[in-house]
Structure 1
């Protein structure tokens, strides 16, 4: 399992990738395995990050066998979080 700094980085990478791919549309999801490969996140850490993000209410995860995220989708709260972050960067 990754250290705290890495876990936070993984979560942010996932959120950014989902937000950019979905372009603010919460109906568009991303294949979990593809996202994990694209971001280079270890499988166990990907599952942990998705569990955390879902617990915060920022994503919805459809799980496959072996505790693997099959599809990940931003929630309305997740989009709002990313928009606020984007506005903060100005």
Structure 2
């Protein structure tokens, strides 16, 4: 995992982080990690798989026969591992 150093953090901000961490029952470092993760990866983000499934559902989806047809057409050859040589 990566490390991040924050320089010149005002004392009042550090104090507020410590208080917030104590309110959540965790260390200041854990609190900062949670704040950063929540900010850059919000829980309400739409995931691609969920979006595609909802589009398919709205369009009526596939019948069992159509799904079986696609399954028969699908290439079932195992993927080859990448070579970096």
Structures share a fold, TM > 0.5? Answer: no
Structure-2-length-normalised TM-score = 0.32
Higher strand share: 1
Structure-1-length-normalised TM-score = 0.31
Q: Which is bigger in relative contact order (C-alpha 8 A, separation at least 6)?
A: 1
